[in-house]
Structure formats: C-alpha cells, structure tokens
A = this chain, B = another copy of it.
Amino acid sequence: MGERLVIIGADAAGMTAASVAKRRRRELEVIAFEKSAFASYAACGEPYYVSGDIPTLDKLIARTPEQFARAGIDLRHHHEVVAIDTDRQVVVVRNHADGTSSETGYDKLMYATGAVAAVPPIPGINRDGVHTLRTLDDADDLRSVATASRGRVVIVGGGYIGLEVAEAFHTRGWDVTVIEGLDALLPRTLDADLGAKVAEAAQTMGIKVRTGVMVDAIEGTDHVTSVDCAGEMIPADVVVVAVGSRPVVELAAEAGIPVGPTGAVAVDDHQRTGVEGIWAAGDCCEARHRVTGEIVNLHLATIANKAGRVAGFNMTGGDVAFPGTLGTAITRLHDLEVASTGARHADALAAGIDAVDTTVSGRTAAHYMPESSPITVRVTTERGSSRIVGAQIVGGAGSGKRIDVFATAIWEGMTAQGFEWVDLAYAPPFAGVWDISAIALRKAAEDALR
C-alpha cells in the first residue's frame, strides 16, 4: 500500500497543503476530513455576502469536492476527527452523516483545524439575535437577518471583522453602533490615534462608535432588546459579537501534540509539530513574526495559505522554511482604507528594537484632482540604522495597498535612508510627484538618523 496523507480540516491551510503535496507526489493518497458541509471557503468574503456585494454564498467556495476529486484528493464532508493516536498513527473519525465512527491510518498527518469565533462570557450572550461571523452558516444567518428588516445592530468588537460587518449593515440601511473595549478601533493593528481617525470617519458616515467601554450584558427576554454598555442601555435588534477568534487545539492537545505559548499548536519553520510525521498550518498554529522574531498566532488567510504551502512541500521531501509573517492586514470602511504591516512602536520596543515613529499626512493623488483624498502614513524605523520595521496607513481610496511597498521594504530589510529616491509611480490621479510613501520614508530617515 502506498503512502497516505490525512488532512484534518479542509480549509485554506489544509487544502493548500493537500494540493501542493498531491501535485508533488502523484502516488500519495490524500484524504481530507472536514466536519462541516463546507471546505476551502473564503471566510474573509463573508461580510460582503452579508452586505449583498456578493449575490450567492457559493461564490465564496474556492473549490468544490468534485474539483478536489479531480485533483486526486478525497475530501469527506461531515467527517469529524475526534481523536488522534500518534503511536498507532490513526485518526478516529465520526461520520456525522450516518453517525458511525471509524479509524483511518496515516503516514503523514496535517493538523489544520483553524479557529472558531471567540465568545466572551457576557451575560445574555446566548439570547436570540446574538450572532458571530465565522462559518458560512453564520454568514447565511446574518444575511437573512440583515435583509429581513432594518433596525438597530450593535457590533461588539471594533477589529477588522467588526468594521466589515458594520459596513455591511450600514450599506443595508441599519442603524449601526460599534463598541470596542479598548481605547480605539482596530487596536491590534493601528495605534490609538490612527484608530481614532477611523472612528471619526465612521461617525461621519453615520456609524456610531463607542471605544474604551465594555459590554456588561446583553439584555432582553428571549430576544435581545438592548446592550448594557457600562450602564448605558443601547437599543439593539441584533448583536454581532466580533471579538476575535481562538485556535482549535483541543484535539491536538489531547493527542500530545505540543501547544505553544500563544495557546496555538507549536510548529517549527517547516510547519512540523512536536510529533514526528504531523504538520500544522493556519489559524490553529503559531508563526514567527519576521521583524520581532516573536511567536504569534495571527488568524490571517495569507499566513494559512503560505504555511499550508510550506507544509505541503516539506511533507513530500521538500525543504522550505516559512519565512515569517509581517502581519500585513488591510480593510476598508466604505471609502476609508486601513492597512498595517510589521511592528508598531510598542511591539518593536518589546523586541529590543529602539523604535522611532514618523507620521506624515498628505493626499492620495495630486492635490488638485477630484479623487485626491487625505492619507496618513506612520512609519516605524530603528533608530541609528533607519531600518524600516513597521507601517500603518489610514486614508481614502488608493491608500491601503500602498502598504505593500512597506511590506516589501520591511521584508527585504531596507532602510528609510535613501528610499526617497525609489522610482515610485506618479501621475495626478494616483499620487503626488513625491509619493506620500517616499515623503514618509524621507522624514523617517531624518528622524531615525538624527
């Protein structure tokens, strides 16, 4: 009998690993167990299904079981792996379709269970009308709610998903309030003063924002009627809890696969877990931050896809190291774009980098163009060397993807000194003759080398 690869969890990381491994070793038997009815779906697209930008849910399915079958991958839906026996190299699988359980042996195992929506212990969290957004079922439910009527939605959590859901409901004409417990919106990726710019823009659009205040309870009888926010009752017909997600590690932990300091599965740079023959990738496992060297557990599709690819190579005789993440992230709130990459000041300091922040404000296009809108760029550099370690951007259309220049520069270890000369593209609809990125880096070099 040939070699068998078993995949636990058939989403980005798992199925990327499956596809890469199968392409590299055609004789490999690949079985992917997925407990839900969905595989390989674009969770990041869900807010745009809720908003109506995406007409049907099937658009979010990257590949169907039939497509995987044609690629020689045996994808089994409604099959939940409930135990891993690492000594015998078998997984115990429950078939939710017929209620049976069985064992399947593996030569190689890919642990890619992903993450689930975090649910904070707020009194009333289980009332009707309280939603999270993680699975396609969640998305379907939330869209039904959003389209059935128009009312008041309170979104608990002002991170990326919270804002995207806010945009979706706002687009549909709802009265939207976002509550963020920390001091500012997007606290994990933006400094507070830049988060405040996002809040200001949101409020100008008519989205209410409350920061630095906790939700004490979700009130109502069966169905939610209001949210108790530090004593103030905010009326709510619907509540969306978007306070992040947590890695699914129970199965690994029970099997003795080591979990790291972040609470996610520990892996080396080849995506090997602490147990021989078992790889992991995606939201369920850790990754190294390329700038700080810190071990992180970021739930980003980009990491899941790249790490899945690395695992797929290495489990088929390759030797590829995951080169680290910059945590690059981007989103929008209608016309406002937000992005960040690398390390912020505090993260850099914590990693022993003597960080200097430089902030410039300008325009996305030539000042005289109608599409020109404000943009603020913050660059974090290392004092003395001017090495670029992080960047944050908030601005109008055309702002967000500028982060890629910073991501490339940080990736390559470039310094701010000299960057002003880089030949970035200019035409009036797209930039000033000195692109705001180059202006920011010129000033950053002055600040870092002062």
Contact = CB atoms under 8 A, between A and B. Distances in A.
Interface of A: 12, 42, 44-45, 48, 53-54, 59-60, 160, 290, 300-302, 305-306, 322-323, 325-332, 339, 341, 366-370, 398, 400-405, 407-409, 411-412, 414, 418, 421-431, 433-435, 437
30 contacts: A42-B428, A44-B427, A48-B428, A48-B429, A53-B369, A54-B369, A160-B427, A302-B424, A305-B434, A306-B421, A322-B421, A325-B423, A326-B423, A327-B423, A328-B425, A330-B425, A330-B426, A330-B427, A330-B430, A332-B429, A339-B425, A341-B423, A401-B401, A401-B425, A401-B430, A402-B404, A404-B435, A407-B422, A407-B423, A409-B412
Given A403-B425, A404-B404, A423-B326, A366 B45 contact: yes
Contacts of A433: 12, 42, 44, 301-302, 305
A314 to B, nearest CB: 14
A156 to B, nearest CB: 21
Most chain B CB atoms below 10 A, which of A59, A424, A430: A424
Contacts of A300: 426
A59 B368 contact: yes
A423 B339 contact: no
A425 B408 contact: no
Given A12-B433, A366-B45, A430-B330, A425 B412 contact: no
Contact of A437 (B326, B404, B427): B404
B425 A404 contact: yes
A424 B305 contact: no
B341 A53 contact: no
Nearest to A407: B423
Contacts of A366: 42, 44-45
Contact of A290 (B54, B423, B425, B437): B423
Contact of A425 (B341, B367, B369, B411): B341
B301 A426 contact: yes
Nearest to A427: B330
Most chain B CB atoms below 10 A, which of A42, A160, A408: A408
A440 to B, nearest CB: 13
A305 B439 CA distance: 13
Contact of A407 (B424, B429, B434): B424
A44 B428 CA distance: 7
A52 B20 CA distance: 52
Given A302-B426, A332-B430, A404-B404, 9 more contacts: A44-B426, A45-B368, A45-B428, A48-B369, A301-B426, A306-B421, A332-B429, A408-B424, A411-B423
